[in-house]
Amino acid sequence: MSSPSDATAHDAHPHEHPSYVQHHFDTAAQQYDTAKLGMWVFIATEILMFGGLFVAYALMKAREPDVFIAGHHYLNKEMGALNTVVLLFSSLTAALAVRSSQLGKRNETSAWLVTTILCACVFLVVKYFEYSHKIEEGLLPGRYFGHPFFDMSAAPAFHEALPSRANMFFGLYFIMTGLHGLHVLIGMGILSWVLLRNIRGEFSAEYFTAVDLGALYWHLVDLVWIYLFPLLYLIG
């Protein structure tokens, strides 16, 4: 058995560590690989979670295709398309942020991150208008569909024209876009935190893990929407 003092003498590792490498990693590369693998695994769980919703969607659509077709006419394709473009663009800017971070260009990184976050805001504002429209028109999930609680006098009286199960379609619409919207919010939070750290100067050409992972997460958010948009808006 070696005494503690012997061990300290031999164990020189902590002194070689740059400040950004946590104590349980040996090298910066190991820490980077670890973080990256962690994010990929996390993305796998996210995909399976959305996967469950997509399966529910597919099964319900196979059972009641008419309901989905009838329901989707009441979604605003233009706004959906606008949001798709916005998110695709934000994915590009997120990737550019990683690129500038790898090159050690701090201000450029900040600029791209701000652009990405602004795109996310635009997405949510558009979503807000879409949602408020649906609420005004009473196109709500389940038993709240066409609910008298909301002032329906202004809404066109098309509820009779929709099949009674349209409430299920709008239920799925709200769960799927709602969960996605929540991910947009979380993504904004992550990117803002990354931005803050970037401004503080924590990143460099050697250490840009958080920028990379934040962008990776943002691509996932984008990817989910790329599936949601045609499945909900463009099925007719």
Kindly list the residues in this chain that would bind another protein in the complex (CB under 8 A): 1-2, 4, 6-8, 10-11, 13-14, 17, 22-26, 30, 33-34, 37-38, 41-42, 44-46, 48-53, 55-56, 59-60, 63, 140-144, 165, 167-168, 171-172, 175, 179
**How many Cβ atoms sit within 10 Å of the Cβ of residue 65?**
11
Nearer to another protein, 144 or 158 (CB): 144
Question: Shortest approach of another protein to residue 85 CB, angstroms?
Answer: 28
- CB 54, CB 232: distance < 8 Å: no
Nearer to another protein, 21 or 87 (CB): 21
Nearer to another protein, 2 or 153 (CB): 2
What whole-number distance in Å separates Cα of residue 222 and Cα of residue 87? 6
What tokens were used for 224? 């989910």
Question: Shortest approach of another protein to residue 139 CB, angstroms?
Answer: 13
Residue 42 amino acid letter: F
Nearer to another protein, 117 or 176 (CB): 176
Question: Shortest approach of another protein to residue 3 CB, angstroms?
Answer: 9
Nearer to another protein, 44 or 81 (CB): 44
Question: Shortest approach of another protein to residue 110 CB, angstroms?
Answer: 25
- CB 72, CB 236: distance < 8 Å: yes
Question: Shortest approach of another protein to residue 1 CB, angstroms?
Answer: 7
Nearer to another protein, 13 or 73 (CB): 13
Question: Shortest approach of another protein to residue 100 CB, angstroms?
Answer: 26
In 189-203, which positions are buried (b, 16+ CB within 10 angstroms) versus exposed (e)?
ebbeebbeebeeebb
